[in-house]
Amino acid sequence: MPYIKGTATSYEDLIAQLVVWVTDTAIHGDNAWELMRSEPWPRGTILKAKGLQGQDHCYIGLMALNIDSNSYANWYFTPANFTKYFVWSPYGLNLPLGRSFRLTGNGVVVDDSIYSISSANIFANSFKALVFGVFKQYAPGLDWDEQPGGLNIDPAGMGLKKGVLYLDGEPSRRFTLPLYPGTGYPGIGMNTDDPVEGKFTFWLKKDKSRITVITKNRMLFPDTEYWDMAQAGMLVPYHGRMQYPFPAVIAGSSSGAVSVGRLDSTFSPDNPVPLIDVQIDYGRHHWMMTRGMPTFPTMATDAPNSLSQIVLCLPDGIWQYFANQVQQIVPYVPRGEKDPVFIVDKPRKGPQISHYVTPTYTDLRGTEHLYQYPPLEDEIIYQLETLKLIQADSQRKNILGFLANLFWSSLPAQKYGEVVINGKKHVMLPNCWKERNWYYRTGLMGEYNPNDLLAKEIEIAQMTKQTNCLIRLED
């Protein structure tokens, strides 16, 4: 199960190099993959890989997204998509077949009623992303996100930003906007101006049924290295073959989700109210844990199946996001002020989340290195923990499997990048950038007691030490 290290100038360049490498039979022998296609969005790149049994197959996809402020509207307001996702859909008007209407560019006229749309954009920022997918079958005529067995999750339950529907010029109601093709899949990302050095470093590791991608980029604020990783392919399941036919998993250091808060006066012009929702941003514009390593997967809202850094195809064929915590924007009214400001809350457990990852679901601050007495002179022994995916809703209690080659380490990382552990090469990753805090206090939450402040700082420092991710390169 080989790996390579190289440099790329863009995600498109990375895909091109990846395709050449993973399909090379001289390197991978019988485990070389087959390229089905490699095209720009929305058709993307799809490779045929082997399944867990070796005789079966799965299809692993990559797709580069280049998002700007017009991307969503340019896609959503095409007649084909606007009728599908608004006019004839329960997301919007849900008009019956045969009911006549007329499209107006950003709206529709039904009988004498004029419906118009505003806020039709789920993107919080412009960004570049590389998203990953796993599919059960390959249909040449279908776009990347339509492939058989790909994510098919209802955006209505994600807390995703909604559009505003106006009827005859007056705001009428909010309505569900669909996910843009390719979003919702975990992946990696960067800002529109990246890579700031014109290139970035990457590592690729593959086996017969999974690919792991690591990138080391650079950012200017703070001026440091910026790490990303993603893995797509098969989970290592605890079930037998017939019990778990397609244990596909996708993990990435960006879920694409970010919590956004604002004052909204759409329905109450004289009395704006706080509005918080989930928007899409794979870039590195914020420090919330939804943009962090999959060892600590995080949702941007407390919901049973909202976006996170890990998504798994469950034994019943439904894709499920896994998260250990929720981090979102909350409104806070400073003393003496009328309007709230919007601050980032600390990561908290989500009562509605019933699919999570161990061991990092629990507070690991008490975990030390392995016990060795007398201590070794120049060596520390510590434990590597696989990430196990747990299902624990009201009916289903399951330990489903673990991610291959991806670990949480009880050793707080001192050095990032390639490290040799037990004679094997690994890559130690910070939580995207080194010295990044678990979260940053805002100073607005009534925190004035020195002892309370100290306790919070200690908690942040200790939790920060846990936020690492280790990936094995050599077997």
Residues that bind another protein (CB under 8 A): 79-80, 83-85, 87-91, 94-103, 136-137, 139-142, 146-149, 152, 178, 245-246, 316-318
Supply the minimum distance, in Å, between the C-beta of residue 90 and another protein: 6
Supply the minimum distance, in Å, between the C-beta of residue 412 and another protein: 41
Among residues 149 and 159, whose Cβ is nearest to another protein? 149
Supply the minimum distance, in Å, between the C-beta of residue 194 and another protein: 34
Measured at the CA of 340, the angle between CA 259 and CA 278, to 5 degrees, comes to 15
Query: Phi, psi at residue 385, to the nearest 5°?
Result: -115, 130
Q: What tokens appear for 4 in the block?
A: 């390579």
Among residues 162 and 216, whose Cβ is nearest to another protein? 162
Supply the minimum distance, in Å, between the C-beta of residue 313 and another protein: 9
Distance CA 75, CA 51 (A): 34
Among residues 152 and 265, whose Cβ is nearest to another protein? 152
Supply the minimum distance, in Å, between the C-beta of residue 85 and another protein: 7
Supply the minimum distance, in Å, between the C-beta of residue 149 and another protein: 5
Supply the minimum distance, in Å, between the C-beta of residue 81 and another protein: 8
Among residues 92 and 283, whose Cβ is nearest to another protein? 92
Nearest to 152 by CA among 130, 179, 177: 179
Among residues 137 and 352, whose Cβ is nearest to another protein? 137
Supply the minimum distance, in Å, between the C-beta of residue 283 and another protein: 28
Prior bond of 140 cis (ω within 30°)? no
Among residues 25 and 104, whose Cβ is nearest to another protein? 104
Among residues 178 and 401, whose Cβ is nearest to another protein? 178
Supply the minimum distance, in Å, between the C-beta of residue 136 and another protein: 5
Supply the minimum distance, in Å, between the C-beta of residue 439 and another protein: 37
Rounded alpha-carbon distances, angstroms, from residue 424 to 19, 214, 261, 420: 26, 17, 45, 5
Among residues 246 and 322, whose Cβ is nearest to another protein? 246
Among residues 398 and 437, whose Cβ is nearest to another protein? 398
Q: How many CB atoms lie within 10 A of CB 32?
A: 18
Among residues 70 and 137, whose Cβ is nearest to another protein? 137
Among residues 55 and 451, whose Cβ is nearest to another protein? 55
Among residues 91 and 132, whose Cβ is nearest to another protein? 91
- Per residue, the 3-state secondary structure of the chain, as one string, reads CCEEEEEECCHHHHHHHHHHHHCCHHHHHHHCCEEEEECCCCCCEEEEEECCCCCCEEEEEEEEEEECCCHHHHHHCCHHHHHHHHHCCCCCCCCCCCCCCEECCCEEEECCEEEEEECCCCECCCEEEEEEEEECCCCCCCCHHHCCCCCCCCHHHCCECEEEEEECCEEEEEEECCCCCCCCCCEEEECCCCCCCCCEEEEEEECCCEEEEEEEEEEECCEEEEEEEEEEEECEECCCCCCCCCCEEEEECECCEEEEEEEECCCCCCCCEEEEEEEECCCCCCCCCCCCCCCCCEECCCCCCCCCCEEEECCCCCEEEECCEECCEEEECCCCCCCCEEEECCCECCCCCCEEEECCCCCCCCCCCCCCCCCCCCCCCCCEEEEEEEEECCCCEEEEEEEEEEEEECCCCCCCEEEEECCEEEEEECCCCCCCCCCCCCCCCCCCCHHHHHHHHHHHHHHHHHCCEEEECCC
Supply the minimum distance, in Å, between the C-beta of residue 160 and another protein: 14
Supply the minimum distance, in Å, between the C-beta of residue 182 and another protein: 16
Please say whether the dihedral angle defined by the alpha carbons of residues 11, 12, 17 and 19, taken in this order, is positive or negative: positive
